[in-house]
Amino acid sequence: MSKRIIIDPVTRIEGHGKISIYLDDAGQVTDAQFHVVEFRGFEKFCEGRPFSEMPGITQRICGICPVSHQLASARAGDALMAVNIPPAADKLRRLMNLGQIIQSHALSFFHLSAPDFLMGWETPQAQRNVFGLIQSNTDLARAGIRLRQFGQEIIEILGGKKIHPAWAVPGGVRSGLTEAGRTKIRAWLPEAYGTAQIALDLFKKTLETHHRELQVFGNFPSLFMGLVTPGGSWEHHGGKLRFTSSEGTIVADQLDPQNYLDYIGESVQSSSYLKSPYYLPYGFPRGIYRVGPLARLNVCERMGVSRGDAELDNFKGMGNGAVTSSFLYHYARLIEIMSAIEFVEIYLDDPELINGQLRADAGINCLRGVGASEAPRGTLFHDYTVDADGLLRKVNLIVATGQNNLAMNQTVAQIARAYIHGGAITEPLLNRIEHGIRCYDPCLSCSTHAVGQMPLQVRLIGPDGSVLQEVARR
């Protein structure tokens, strides 16, 4: 008798998701699906708007990663105008994206994920959260909050506010870095370096006791995709795309994001509003690929900064070819934080950020433009088609969480296979499944972003539709 386990809801805000786990007659897990059951419709209701409004509109998709949408949208606008933006504007956009990476990764590690693996899967809900972390390690909790504050300060200093800054525009940016802003950011650096190093040491120590999690939290072969520089270094804004196999070989390199339709397909499932992109030449579902920190570190050959490169060497030593365990998204995130701080320091020494020209001006020179940028969670595409007046005729957005959709399904299935035997649903199992999703830090999210008493409902349903077992957590 086949059965289905449903976890619903997994989420609370602008992503209401649920998980279905399918069992065979023997009670063994056969498959799992992560569904997103909320429709947002940005691609449709943006039609008719001027392309110049899109950085402002699309950043409203999200309160967590508005900077990412703003930057990808501005790049798409650059392509429509067919301009090379001034070097200072490019560096300033990069500086803001680094701030975004730091603040978002700090949130993911310290606030969301660390309580799980530092306090233990069996720890009661009332303690396994950021307040529990505060009780057990106040200094670490404070450092995490302040590291996120550092990233937010960079965004605010450049854009005027932490959330939804109206700053990046087609052709460049609205304002540069002031001397006062540069001094303020520089003052944060020693503390930021210190916190990043503490977190790296802490997670590497955690790995010594988490062999099982390394094996079953999304450890499977897949492709990996991310931006790289022309020389194959880590890239987060601009650059070209590279696909790498789980054996560590380069499958495709220096692909122009403008032509992403030539190598990325989008599968649609009737059970979810989240599309499932795949590597087109391999077809669906064989073309499964992962994006985000783990993927970016797998596709690049070096970070391009000393502390980051030292950690990258250690990271790459954990894989046989590529690093395939999604539990190591956390480690990759911390390496990116450290590297981002190093890049911030480099940019602060650049006089062009204070005095350079900030904006190129042009009309519509191309009727279609694609902007790609690395959001904290993975590669983000904005694809706009406009008329001669710059009014949008078609919009396609490919977000990181969608690109990790197939991988999240496999991760949930792998964890469920490891811990469900005979259909029993336990609290530690729910905790592990939640964490399997959290490894990807999906931006759906408050399910995965709600630490502590995440509302969960798990139902075991027989083939006749009757509820065989129900576990609810409010």
Partner 1 sequence: MATNPHLLVIGYGNTLRRDDGVGPLVVESVGGLCLPGVRTLISQQLSPEHSAPVSQAHTVIFVDASVDAPHEVRLRPLAPGHCSQIMAHAADPATILALARDVFGHAPDAWWLTIPAMNLDFNEELSPETRAGAGEALRRIQSIAEQFCREHGKNCEAVANIS
Q: Tell me: does residue 44 bind partner 1 (CB under 8 A).
A: no
Nearer to partner 1, 2 or 45 (CB): 45
Q: Of 407, 417, 286, give the one whose Cα is nearest residue 21.
A: 417
Q: Tell me: does residue 130 bind partner 1 (CB under 8 A).
A: yes
Instruction: For residue 268, give the amino acid letter.
Output: V
Q: Tell me: does residue 125 bind partner 1 (CB under 8 A).
A: yes
Shortest Cβ 338–partner 1 spacing (Å): 20
**Where is 207: in which H helix or E strand?**
helix 179-207
Nearer to partner 1, 85 or 451 (CB): 451
Alpha-carbon distance of 369 to 238, in angstroms, equals: 14
Q: Tell me: does residue 49 bind partner 1 (CB under 8 A).
A: no
Alpha-carbon distance of 166 to 114, in angstroms, equals: 33
Q: Tell me: does residue 152 bind partner 1 (CB under 8 A).
A: yes
Shortest Cβ 142–partner 1 spacing (Å): 5
Shortest Cβ 64–partner 1 spacing (Å): 5
Spacing of C-alpha 350 from chain mean position: 28
Residue 209: other Cβ atoms inside 10 A: 10
Single out the residue of 81, 449, 458, 460 in contact with partner 1 (rule: CB under 8 A). 449
List all residues 6 or more positions away from 370 whose beta carbon is below 8 Å from its beta carbon: 76, 79, 257, 258, 260, 381, 382, 383, 384
User: What character string, x for contact with partner 1 (CB under 8 A) and - otherwise, covers 69-108?
Assistant: --------------------------------------x-
Single out the residue of 24, 452, 467, 470 in contact with partner 1 (rule: CB under 8 A). 452
Nearer to partner 1, 244 or 448 (CB): 448
Single out the residue of 1, 26, 82, 126 in contact with partner 1 (rule: CB under 8 A). 126
Single out the residue of 450, 458, 460, 461 in contact with partner 1 (rule: CB under 8 A). 450
Alpha-carbon distance of 361 to 179, in angstroms, equals: 26
Could you tell me if 102 and 383 are in contact, meaning their C-beta atoms sit under 8 angstroms apart? Answer: no
- Burial (CB < 10 A; 0-12, 13-18, 19+), residue 352, is middle
Q: Which residue has the tokens 């075991």?
A: 460
Alpha-carbon distance of 374 to 198, in angstroms, equals: 25
Stretch near partner 1 under the rule CB under 8 A, chosen from 140-148, 344-352, 387-395, 458-466: 140-148
Q: Tell me: does residue 145 bind partner 1 (CB under 8 A).
A: yes
Alpha-carbon distance of 197 to 203, in angstroms, equals: 10
Residue 110: other Cβ atoms inside 10 A: 23
Q: Of 116, 88, 77, give the one whose Cα is nearest residue 362.
A: 77
Nearer to partner 1, 107 or 412 (CB): 107
Q: Tell me: does residue 348 bind partner 1 (CB under 8 A).
A: no
Residues of the shown chain interacting with partner 1 in the complex, contacts defined by CB under 8 A: 12-13, 60, 63-64, 107, 111-112, 125-127, 129-132, 134-135, 138, 141-142, 145-146, 148-149, 152, 161-164, 446, 449-453
